[in-house]
Amino acid sequence: MNESVVERLTQANSLLVITGAGISAESGIPTFRGADGLWRNYRAEDLATLDAFERDPVTVWEWYDWRRGIIGRAEPNPGHLAIKDLEDMFENFLLITQNVDGLHGRTGIRNIVEIHGNLWRTKCTREGKISMLMDVPLRSIPPRCDCGAVLRPDVVWFGESIPSYALDLSFNVLEQCDTLIVVGTSGVVYPVASFPQTVKDNGGYVVEVNVEPTPISAIADASLYGNSGDILPMLVKWLKERRK
C-alpha cells in the first residue's frame, strides 16, 4: 500500500468518496463501458435517455428488468463495505455514487447521495409520484401507476439534469472536503467527471482507485491500480492500524 496515501488519509478532516460502476463489478454487475456492459448489442448511452424511453418504453424497461434481475441476486462486496467503514472513521464524510443499483445503501451507509437516482424507485410519468418497485422480474412491462400512466425508472438519464438537492449538496462538499477517494469510474460522465478537478482546484488531495488509468489519473495525487474490493479494505486496515 502506498505509504504517502495512508499518511495523507490519516490527516484528512473531511473525506469525500465518489464511486462509479466499477465498485459494483466484483458484485457481478456489468459496468457501463466495460466489455460485459452490452445488452442485446445496445450501448447503455443509447438506452439511458428520455428519447429512447418515449420511443420504446418496452425495450428500455426490458433493459432495466434485466439489470434489476442481476442486481437483485447481487450482494455488496468488500469494496462497498470498506466505504461504510470509512464513513464510521471520519466525522465529516460523504459518498457520492453514480450507481443506481442501491448496493451502497444495503451496507447501512447514511451519508450518501445517489446522484443518478436508483433503479428500485419509479416515477409516474403523469403525476411525478415516486414509489418503490421491488418486483423481480417485473409483473408487467412497462409497469403502470394506479392512475394508469406508464411508470419510468427514478434515474437521471443522459440529457436530463441532476436533481438540484443532489447537485447543491455535492457542490457544497466539493468546496469543503480536503480529501477525495474516487473509485471505479471512467471519468467521462458529467457533471461528476468534473468533481475531482474541483477538489484539486480547492487544494484537496485526490486518490484514484481503478483497475486501469483513466482521465482522472492525470490529476490524481495517487492512483492505486487494482480491484476496489481488494484495495479499499487494505486502505481501511492500514488506516485503523495507524489510528491505534
Task: Point out the residues that are catalytic.
Answer: 116
Q: Residues binding ligand BV8: what is the number (CB under 6 A)?
A: 38
Instruction: Name the minimum Å distance from CB 244 to ligand BV8.
Output: 28
Residue 22 interacts with ligand BV8 (CB under 6 A)? yes
- Residue in this structure with the C-alpha cell 464511486, named with its chain if needed: 19
Half-sphere exposure at residue 39, Cβ-oriented, CA atoms within 13 angstroms = 19
Residue 98 interacts with ligand BV8 (CB under 6 A)? yes
Residue 188 interacts with ligand BV8 (CB under 6 A)? yes
Residue 185 interacts with ligand BV8 (CB under 6 A)? yes
- Residue in this structure with the C-alpha cell 418515449, named with its chain if needed: 54
Residue 235 interacts with ligand BV8 (CB under 6 A)? no
Q: What cell does 232 get?
A: 479499499
Note the residue count of the chain. 244
First to last CA, the chain: 18
CA distance 16 to 180: 5
Residue 24 interacts with ligand BV8 (CB under 6 A)? no
Q: Which is nearer to ligand BV8, 38 or 147 (CB)?
A: 38
Q: What cell does 93 get?
A: 464524510
Do residues 89 and 236 make contact, with C-beta atoms less than 8 angstroms apart? Answer: yes
Identified binder of ligand BV8 from the candidate list 34, 69, 108, 137, rule CB under 6 A? 34
Residue 170 interacts with ligand BV8 (CB under 6 A)? no
Instruction: Please name the residue ranges forming H helices in 48-177.
Output: 50-55, 57-72, 78-89, 164-176
Nearest-CB residue to ligand BV8? 22
Residues in touch with ligand BV8 (CB under 6 A):
20-22, 25-26, 31-34, 37, 45, 48, 98-100, 116, 155-162, 184-186, 188-191, 209-212, 214, 227-228
